Amino acid sequence: MKREGLTIILSAPSGAGKTSLCRELFKIFPDIKESVSYTTRKPRPGEVEGEAYHFVSNEEFTRMVEEDAFAEWALVHGNMYGTALSTLEEARKKGVDLVLDIDCQGALKLKEQFDGGVYIFILPPSMEELRRRLESRSSDAQEVIDRRILRAADEIKESRWYDFIIINDDFDVACQELAAIVIAHRRKTFRMLEKVGKLFDI
């Protein structure tokens, strides 16, 4: 029996530390792959096509929506983002564990339509700390930061329907918690049967 790949969905408000946690997760589990989404956003300096994203035009994105090529898609900060159905299906079929870094609208669409994913929400320890992190890391105008804080307050309400919540206060602890969730799901019996079958010929 072929082991089915695990789909790990991560969401967080901007400033919660999701990018750093993801980076650490890929270091701990080098065989876990990152899902490459499609977006209409323009590449930032240094971003390479096919690495963080597939950068497509509005027309191309609309065509993919019409062809039902997306497992989920959403409008985030004025740009379209979507996860291709083929990315999810291929990984599951090949037994590859996949991380999707997507917003809560897209995560909810996936949860309603697909079985088997594990949904994890990363929270900052407080709104004050979130503001402090956003202010210290960016050169953005105060009104941009204020807008992010308002949006974060809305996004945080969505955390209630996720399977797991990690509060990223101490980064190392948050990493351990994320790794623990991933390990527990990798060790579920139905994901172990292929290996057990090979080891013990049963």
Which DSSP helix (H) or strand (E) runs through 86?
Answer: helix 85-94
Q: Quick one: CA dihedral 152, 154, 157, 161, positive or negative?
A: negative
> Tokens 């579920």, residue?
188
- 72 interacts with ligand 5GP by CB under 6 A: yes
Q: Do the beta carbons of residue 20 and residue 35 sit within 8 Å?
A: no
When the beta carbons of 3 and 104 are compared against ligand 5GP, the nearer one is 104
Q: Residues 6, 9, 74, 120: which binds ligand 5GP (CB under 6 A)?
A: 74
Question: Which residues from 129-148 bind ligand 5GP, rule CB under 6 A?
Answer: none
121 beta partners: 11, 165
Which DSSP helix (H) or strand (E) runs through 84?
Answer: strand 79-84
DSSP letter at 56 equals -
Q: Residues 16, 17, 81, 156: which binds ligand 5GP (CB under 6 A)?
A: 81
- 54 interacts with ligand 5GP by CB under 6 A: no
When the beta carbons of 56 and 182 are compared against ligand 5GP, the nearer one is 56
Binding region for ligand 5GP (CB under 6 A): 37, 41, 72, 74, 76-77, 81-83, 101-103, 105-106
